[in-house]
């Protein structure tokens, strides 16, 4: 897969240009599947926040509201009862998976339960656009600092990349660089701290930071 791991979505021209490079064509010619699942695992999210995302309203202009040629919804909690014969072609035919935030451990659980995690390595040309938890889920460790789902047994992610992510730098009072440094000492590996104007593009083994804001790489 090609990855665009963001904190707040496609929030500026630099991140949008990176997205177009990964897609190989304009957003307006690309088909997207939206994955809202992580929201159900976070206490700050609920029906109204999911509604705005799915409706691609003005508040979600940085993800679902970018102007896709087509936009569908892939709810991971439903997939085990649907059957792989139906949903796998939906994923394979999409140009991009838009994976919203919420609780990354909840998202990780349902990526495994649904079978999507097993399918990802075969999606060579598909672009994964993660927002917050949608980015963190692909890392080795999320950090207990960000675990909100009571059902989480640990803070492990899928480990598709070899670094962790601390999103929303200075967006919330508890997301300062001081908090990020404490979090990084817990996850114990290389990590990126980034604000909502920053993203990380990953293609094969190449990692590029795309930013019009603030970011920092922390190493243990």
Tokens of 79: 């997939």
pLDDT of residue 49: 67
| 103 three-state secondary structure | coil
59-74 confidence digits (pLDDT tens) = 667 999 999 999 999 9
pLDDT of residue 73: 95
Averaged pLDDT in 10-residue chunks for the chain of 220 residues: 97 98 98 95 71 67 92 96 95 97 96 97 97 98 94 96 97 94 94 98 96 95
Residue ranges in the chain assigned as alpha helix (H): 13-23, 47-54, 79-82, 84-93, 104-114, 116-119, 133-136, 177-187
pLDDT of residue 57: 64
pLDDT of residue 56: 66
pLDDT of residue 198: 98
Q: What is the DSSP letter of 167?
A: -
| 169 three-state secondary structure | coil
Max Cα distance, the chain (Å): 47
pLDDT of residue 42: 83
pLDDT of residue 191: 97
72-114 confidence digits (pLDDT tens) = 999 999 999 999 999 999 999 999 999 999 999 999 999 999 9
CATH number at 2-167+191-197: 3.40.50.880
pLDDT of residue 14: 98
């Amino acid at each position: 897969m090609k990855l665009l791991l963001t904190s707040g979505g496609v929030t500026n021209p630099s991140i949008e240009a990176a997205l177009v490079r990964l897609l190989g064509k304009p957003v307006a010619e690309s088909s997207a599947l939206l994955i809202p699942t992580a929201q159900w695992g976070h206490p700050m999210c609920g029906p109204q926040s999911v509604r705005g995302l799915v409706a691609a309203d003005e508040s979600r202009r940085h993800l679902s509201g970018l102007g896709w040629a087509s936009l569908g919804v892939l709810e991971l909690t439903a997939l085990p009862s649907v059957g792989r014969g139906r949903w796998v072609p939906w994923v394979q035919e999409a140009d991009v998976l838009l994976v919203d935030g919420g609780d990354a451990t909840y998202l990780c659980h349902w990526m495994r339960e649904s079978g999507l995690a097993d399918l990802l390595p075969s999606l060579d040309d598909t672009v994964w656009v993660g927002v917050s938890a949608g980015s963190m889920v692909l890392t080795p460790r999320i950090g207990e600092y960000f675990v909100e789902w009571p059902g989480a047994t640990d803070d492990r992610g899928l480990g598709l990349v070899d670094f962790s992510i601390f999103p929303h730098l200075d967006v919330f009072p508890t997301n300062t660089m001081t908090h990020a440094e404490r979090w990084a000492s817990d996850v114990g590996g290389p990590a990126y701290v980034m604000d909502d104007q920053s993203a990380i593009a990953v293609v094969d083994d190449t990692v590029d930071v795309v930013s019009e804001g603030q970011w920092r790489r922390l190493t243990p």
